[in-house]
Amino acid sequence: MPRGPVVPVLVTVLLLCAPAGGAGAAGHGGVTLADLCSGVLVLWCALGLLRPPAHRTAGRVGPRALTPLAAVVLGVPAAAFAVTTIASADPAASLPGFVRYLQLFVLVPGAVLLSLRDARDVRLMCAAVVLLALVEGGVGVVQALTGNGASYQGENVRAVGTFGPLDVMGMATAVSYGLVTALACGLHPPAGAPRWLRPCALGSAAALVVPLALSYSRGAWIATASAVLLLLALRGVRTTVCVLAAVAATGVVLVGGFGLATQELSQRARSITEVSDSPDRSVTDRYTLWGAALDIWREAPVTGVGPKEFPEHRDAHAALELSSGSDTAGAGVPFQREPLLSPHNMYLLVLSEQGLVGTVALMGSWGVLLVRGGRRLVDARRGGPGCRATDCGAVAAGLLVWQSVDFLYGDIGGPSTVLTALVLGSATWWALSPAVEQTADGTVERAADGTAARTAAWWHRGRAPKADGGPR
Q: Report the pLDDT value the prediction gives residue 34, as an integer from 0 to 100.
A: 85
- Distances, alpha carbon 30 to alpha carbons 96, 218, 376, 388, in Å: 12, 27, 39, 41
Of all residues in the chain, what percent carry a pLDDT higher than 90? 41
- The backbone torsions φ and ψ at residue 334, rounded to the nearest 5 degrees and listed phi first, read -70, 165
- The backbone torsions φ and ψ at residue 157, rounded to the nearest 5 degrees and listed phi first, read -120, 5
Residue 456 has pLDDT above 60, yes or no: no
Least confident of 85-94, 150-159, 182-191: 150-159
Higher pLDDT, 318 or 184: 184
CB atoms within 10 A of CB 272: 14
Q: Report the pLDDT value the prediction gives residue 3, as an integer from 0 to 100.
A: 54
Report the distance separating Cα 109 and Cα 326, nearest Å. Answer: 32
Q: Report the pLDDT value the prediction gives residue 276, as an integer from 0 to 100.
A: 46
For residues 390-419, one letter each, b for 16 or more C-beta atoms within 10 angstroms of the residue's C-beta and e for the rest, the string is bbbbbbbbbbbbbbbbbbbbbbbbbbbbbb
Higher pLDDT, 54 or 244: 244
Report the distance separating Cα 286 and Cα 209, nearest Å. Answer: 25
Contacts of 118 (CB under 8 A, 6+ apart): 61, 62, 435, 439, 462, 463, 464
- Residue 451, helix vs strand vs coil: helix
Tell me the β-bridge partners of 152.
155
